[in-house]
Structure 1
Amino acid sequence: MEARLAASEEVNQQNAAKRTAMEARLAASEKVNRQNAANLAQLSSVEMRLNLSESRVEQLADKNEAQLSGVEMRANLSESRLEQLAKKNEAKLAQLSSVEMRLNQSVSRVEQLARENADQPKVAFSAYHLGAGYIGPYSSLTTLVYQRVFSNIGNAYNQSTGFFHAASRGVYFFTFTAATYGSPQSMNIYMYKNNQQLIRNYGQNNHGGFEYMSNAVVVELELGDTVDLRLQGHSSYRLYDSSHNHNTFSGFLLYPL
């Protein structure tokens, strides 16, 4: 009996030990299950966050792709605009080059004309009669001497003789104004080239005040040709002058030949 009781107690002890071991294993298993559950919950949270991140990444990718597409479109438009501007600038440069060429030609022509003009003789004069009162009458056809000059470029007009001397072959312009005063008075003026009459002008004063007449010619002259004004010789033909210079004789070279 004692042996069997001892064996029974030993069995009970073994069973208690086994139960304790089982309880320990169960506790460990429950702990692992709780840890796994926590890990699963954490894993689920991470997975959810990962899914949200992936969704956000996709949204950002779509947004970036849309922005990139917009930037690319703007870049294409900019390139197209640049090409248009480049073509327009090329056209303007070509036009500017043409204008510059024409300007250079004009400058060259102006310089050429300036050189030609510098080589051409410069002749111009304007003379007036000296003194106050009547000029004439003369007994014969007499050259009028205009003793003072407003200008005498080229010194072609002789103030002592009243003759203009052509310094070169060319086309010349001459004009005069004559005046008389009082009634009855008459004027009979001739313009001569050398000893050849060019024009004759007659005027009569019947009103007692100033009477004027004028005329002009364009004439071709050779080197050394002369031009002068002459008053017809007659007792009734005379001019009148004063400090206002009513009587003038002028001329200039239009162009050489």
Structure 2
Amino acid sequence: MKTLSVLALLLLACRVSADPAVDALKELSDSWVKLRADMTALQSLTQGKRVAFSASLVATGHKTFGPFKKQTPLVYKHVATNIGNAYSPVTGNFTAPLKGAYHFELHIYGYGGRTAAYLVKNSENIFLAYEDQSSNGSSASQGASLLLEAGDVVSVHLRNGLTAWDDTEHRTTFSGHLLFTM
């Protein structure tokens, strides 16, 4: 701000001169003022468009989810981050607040045997994370960048007949964030 004041005073003092250096200084000052205004406008555009969340199935203890007869939505109750409040720990749904490109990741853990979950957009299976391990724990991961309209819903569904497991080490997670608006 001091720099702008000094430039303005200098310009006023030299306004009567036809010196090219004074003209260049005025042009530089005008450019600087416009750049500042553009930066302020850009900051106000991006304010409030911050969207990111990360959640796991349980906050305390441990629990097995499934098997279910049909594909079933998973509700991630332990929310570590929910900037923009677009993820609901009641429904397990992420609802896009803005049109834009978003990135999502899911990690699923199961005890012995198979585990699998779908990344779902508006009731359409997008990608499957799947693991078949004959013993011990099994884990699978998947990620996707999706173009979403405001109001589109993204969730994770457990594949029918399979299980997922989580504990306080938060092995089964669902995360996402806004990359940029469109």
User: TM-score, normalised on structure 2?
Assistant: 0.76
Matches within 5 A, 1:4-153: 103-118=32-47, 120-130=48-58, 131-153=61-83
In the other structure, the counterpart of 2:120 is 192
Contact 2:101 2:181 in 1 (8 A): yes
Contact 1:187 1:239 in 2 (8 A): yes
- Structure 2 residue 163 is matched with structure 1 residue 238: yes
Contact 1:123 1:252 in 2 (8 A): yes
For structure 1, the 5+ residue unaligned runs are 1-89
Q: Report the 3-state secondary structure (helix = DSSP H, G, I; strand = E; otherwise coil) of the residue aligned with 2:175.
A: strand
- Structure 2 residue 142 is matched with structure 1 residue 218: no
How many Å separate the matches in 2 of 1:171 and 1:227?
13
For structure 2, the 5+ residue unaligned runs are 1-18
Q: Aligned match of 1:159 in 84, 89, 93? A: 89
Q: Aligned match of 1:171 in 78, 98, 101? A: 101
In the other structure, the counterpart of 1:204 is 132
How many Å separate the matches in 2 of 1:172 and 1:251?
7
Deviation of the 1:226 alpha carbon: 0.7
* Residues 79-110 of structure 1: per-residue CA shift (max 9 Å, x gap): xxxxxxxxxxx9x9999888766655543332
Is the helix fraction higher in 1 or 2? Answer: 1
Deviation of the 1:243 alpha carbon: 0.9
Q: Report the 3-state secondary structure (helix = DSSP H, G, I; strand = E; otherwise coil) of the residue aligned with 2:45.
A: helix
How big is the alpha-carbon RMSD for the aligned residues of Structure 1 and Structure 2?
Answer: 2.5
Length, aligned pairs only: 162
Q: Counterpart amino acid of 2:81?
A: S
Contact 1:180 1:205 in 2 (8 A): no
How many Å separate the matches in 1 of 2:140 and 2:36?
45
Deviation of the 1:168 alpha carbon: 2.3
Q: Counterpart amino acid of 2:154?
A: V
Q: Aligned match of 1:248 in 169, 173, 176? A: 173
User: TM-score, normalised on structure 1?
Assistant: 0.56
Q: Using a 3 Å threshold, how does the CA distance of structure 1 residues 103 and 214 change in structure 2: closer, same or farther?
A: farther
Identical positions, percent:
29
Contact 2:106 2:119 in 1 (8 A): no
Higher relative contact order, chain-length normalized (CA < 8 Å, sep 6+): 2
Q: Counterpart amino acid of 1:248?
A: T
How many Å separate the matches in 2 of 1:242 and 1:93?
69
How many Å separate the matches in 2 of 1:95 and 1:204?
70
Contact 1:163 1:226 in 2 (8 A): yes
Contact 1:169 1:223 in 2 (8 A): yes
Deviation of the 1:113 alpha carbon: 1.4
Q: Using a 3 Å threshold, how does the CA distance of structure 1 residues 103 and 137 change in structure 2: closer, same or farther?
A: same
Contact 1:143 1:162 in 2 (8 A): yes
Q: Using a 3 Å threshold, how does the CA distance of structure 1 residues 93 and 226 change in structure 2: closer, same or farther?
A: same
Contact 2:115 2:138 in 1 (8 A): no
Deviation of the 1:116 alpha carbon: 1.4
How many Å separate the matches in 1 of 2:32 and 2:133?
58
Is the strand fraction higher in 1 or 2? Answer: 2
